[in-house]
Chain A
Amino acid sequence: MTTEPHIKEIALRRFWAGELAAPEKPAIETHTAACPRCRARLKEMGDEQRRFEQEISFDRFAAGVERAGRTPRRVPASSRGLSLSGPTMRWFFPLASVAAAVALTFTFAPRLRTGDDTTAVDRALSRIKGGSGITVQIAPAGRGPQRTAAVSAPETLSPGERLRIGYQPGTHQYVTALSIDDQGEVSPLYPEAGRSLPVSRAKGSISATQYLPDSIELTGKGSERVIVILSDQPLEVEAAKQAAHTAFQRAGDLARLASLELPGEQFQRTFVKP
């Protein structure tokens, strides 16, 4: 029996993972040999790993990580001081295809713009039936002015630029957003699974812009199209994804992609990734 203080959780975990060297490693070995509590915690860490491996095979794990790295995934905002951004080096895991697009997400609040850089055509096109439409705001990697994605032409993104999707619901009740790249890879954005999100609506206005939560960054090469569907009935995300696949197969490339065979109104913006 030892009278020394117990080993801290993080140190025990590091020991279990084989991260420690002298002098910590032999000290923990000595301690755990004499301390039933720390020995039991160490055994529990081994059991935890075994349970994990039984529940999630390596192949499933690898496929999931690869998919998570490839698919633009909506992740809630980073907060000040906890951001994982900073001096980062993008390293694309070769398990994924060369064209794999990794999306890292941040949130930016769309600000009131001081200058309007959209054209009259863009503004007209962005508002179609019954006040419904979309607005995609683009924020730079650092501080700087935001801009609105053009409607009538592909918008070229600079490295680190992030997108936030806004919509004017009009009389529609549900919103679904997905993206499709020039390889035909479809990524549900909002929601990622299940059925469409009910629209938010500003009191007394059907045309006020509502922003979907969080923002996305499209990385990788080539073009990617963001498609927003405003509908009166909820859509199954899987059905929307399938409709996008079918449309891409018929079109053969992103430039010729027709509207998806889904009920509701569709709005799209195309981006050329840096």
Chain B
Amino acid sequence: MPKPTLEVLQGGSAADSRAALRDLYSKYGGSVFGRCSYLLKDRSKAEDAMQDVFAKALTHLGDFRSEASPLTWLMKIATHHCLNVLRAERAPWHQRFRRQEQSRSEGHGGPQLFEDREAVRHLLSRCDLETQAAAVHYYVDEMTLEEIAGLLGRSVPTIRKRLESFTRESQKEYARKNESDSEGKEEKES
């Protein structure tokens, strides 16, 4: 088993701790900040969230099991934290989502829908928190069902069910877009 990259430092000196934090910064800072920016779409909020994530990681090192990947663990915390931030801002986010939907003249979707990470992000607002996390880990991190199940502490069938529900939402969205596009075309033709 590979040695964990992030070790629990108990009662280490300030210098040791600073060195550990620098290691986290150099190895994972970009990834965690990238995840926070992707979900929050605001550099300032993303920086706050990233700080919370690393602070949380440092206070929850007991959760960090020796067999776990520090990166995967941090991405889980970052995803969870940002989805909660978005949920707290639920009303503004939904409003923003609706505005984006209304202002978009051409729908984008179809088989490529899931290849578009922005589409995944937009669809998140329609699902519960656990489904959101599963969708981000599946479609953005490209983790397997087993990996997500292990990460979120759920069974594979549960994760499959969550992702199926996300897929159904995306299909509804695709159908709605098609309908809206067809109506738009008919209006133009008439």
Expressed in whole angstroms, the minimum distance between the Cβ of B59 and any Cβ of chain A is 5
Expressed in whole angstroms, the minimum distance between the Cβ of A27 and any Cβ of chain B is 14
Chain A residue with Cβ nearest B84: A76
Query: Within the assembled complex, what's the spacing in Å between the Cα atoms of A255 and B85?
Result: 35
Flag the segment in A63-71, A124-132, A175-183, A227-235 that touches B. A63-71
- B130 to A81, Cβ gap below 8 A? yes
Query: Within the assembled complex, what's the spacing in Å between the Cα atoms of A79 and B132?
Result: 12
- A9 to B17, Cβ gap below 8 A? no
Judge whether B119 is part of the interface by a CB distance below 8 angstroms. Answer: no
Encoded as 1 (CB less than 8 Å from any A CB) or 0, chain B from 43 to 71 comes to: 10001101110111011111100000111
Encoded as 1 (CB less than 8 Å from any B CB) or 0, chain A from 71 to 112 comes to: 001011111111010111111111100000010100000000
Q: Which of A11, A49, A77 neighbours the largest number of chain B CB atoms within 10 Å of its CB? A: A49
Judge whether A21 is part of the interface by a CB distance below 8 angstroms. Answer: yes
Interface size class of A (residues with CB under 8 A): 35 or more
- B63 to A94, Cβ gap below 8 A? no
Expressed in whole angstroms, the minimum distance between the Cβ of A259 and any Cβ of chain B is 30
Query: Within the assembled complex, what's the spacing in Å between the Cα atoms of A215 and B8?
Result: 28
Please tell me which one of the listed residues B10, B12, B29, B62 contacts residue A87 in the complex, with CB atoms under 8 A apart.
B62
- A19 to B22, Cβ gap below 8 A? no
Judge whether A122 is part of the interface by a CB distance below 8 angstroms. Answer: no
Query: Within the assembled complex, what's the spacing in Å between the Cα atoms of A88 and B84?
Result: 20
> What are 22 A-B pairs at a CB distance below 8 A?
A17-B70, A19-B2, A19-B71, A48-B30, A49-B26, A53-B30, A58-B25, A61-B54, A68-B48, A69-B59, A76-B85, A81-B130, A84-B56, A87-B62, A88-B63, A89-B62, A91-B61, A91-B62, A93-B55, A93-B59, A94-B17, A104-B56
Judge whether B21 is part of the interface by a CB distance below 8 angstroms. Answer: yes
> Could you count the A-B residue pairs with CB atoms below 8 Å apart for me: how many are there?
164
- B147 to A10, Cβ gap below 8 A? yes
Question: For A256, what are the chain B residues with a Cβ–Cβ distance below 8 Å?
Answer: none
- B58 to A93, Cβ gap below 8 A? yes
Question: For A92, what are the chain B residues with a Cβ–Cβ distance below 8 Å?
Answer: 59
Query: Within the assembled complex, what's the spacing in Å between the Cα atoms of A196 and B55?
Result: 26
Expressed in whole angstroms, the minimum distance between the Cβ of A77 and any Cβ of chain B is 7
Encoded as 1 (CB less than 8 Å from any B CB) or 0, chain A from 191 to 205 comes to: 000000000000000
Please tell me which one of the listed residues B30, B33, B128, B140 contacts residue A45 in the complex, with CB atoms under 8 A apart.
B30
- B72 to A75, Cβ gap below 8 A? no
Expressed in whole angstroms, the minimum distance between the Cβ of B24 and any Cβ of chain A is 9
Question: For A94, what are the chain B residues with a Cβ–Cβ distance below 8 Å?
Answer: 11-14, 16-17
Expressed in whole angstroms, the minimum distance between the Cβ of B48 and any Cβ of chain A is 8
- B30 to A51, Cβ gap below 8 A? yes
Question: For A84, what are the chain B residues with a Cβ–Cβ distance below 8 Å?
Answer: 56, 60, 63, 77, 80
Judge whether A56 is part of the interface by a CB distance below 8 angstroms. Answer: yes
- B29 to A61, Cβ gap below 8 A? yes
Judge whether B152 is part of the interface by a CB distance below 8 angstroms. Answer: yes
Chain B residue with Cβ nearest A6: B142
Judge whether B124 is part of the interface by a CB distance below 8 angstroms. Answer: no
Question: For B147, what are the chain A residues with a Cβ–Cβ distance below 8 Å?
Answer: 10
